[in-house]
Amino acid sequence: MAKFGVGGAHPGGIPLTKNILSGENITNKTQILDAGCGTGQTAAFLYQQYKAKVVGLEINPIMIKKAKKRFESLNLPIQLIQGSVENLPFPDNSFDYILSESVLAFVNKPIALREFFRVLKKGGRLIANEMTINTKLSPPEELEIMKFYALDSLLMEKDWKSLLGQTGFQDIVIKVENIATSQENNTTEFNFSKNFEPELFQILNEHGNMVLKYQGILSYRIITCSKV
Site residues for ligand SAM per CB under 6 A? 1, 8-10, 36-38, 41, 57-60, 63, 84-86, 101-103, 106-107
Pairing of strands 218-226, 95-101: unpaired
Dihedral sign (CA 156, 161, 163, 164): positive
How many other CB atoms sit within 10 Å of the CB of residue 8? 22
Toward ligand SAM, which CB reaches closer, 31 or 102? 102
What's CA 123's distance to the chain center, in Å?
Answer: 21
Q: Which residue is nearest to ligand SAM (CB)?
A: 38
CB of 106 to ligand SAM, least distance (A): 5
CB of 218 to ligand SAM, least distance (A): 14
d(C-alpha 177, C-alpha 193), whole Å: 31
Residue from 114, 117, 132 nearest 225 by CA: 117
Toward ligand SAM, which CB reaches closer, 122 or 222? 222
34-73: buried (b, 16+ CB within 10 Å) or exposed (e) per residue? bbbbbbbbbbbbbbeebebbbbbbbbbebbbbbbbebbee
CB of 63 to ligand SAM, least distance (A): 4
Toward ligand SAM, which CB reaches closer, 103 or 137? 103
Toward ligand SAM, which CB reaches closer, 97 or 228? 97
Toward ligand SAM, which CB reaches closer, 37 or 225? 37
CB of 112 to ligand SAM, least distance (A): 7
CB of 95 to ligand SAM, least distance (A): 15
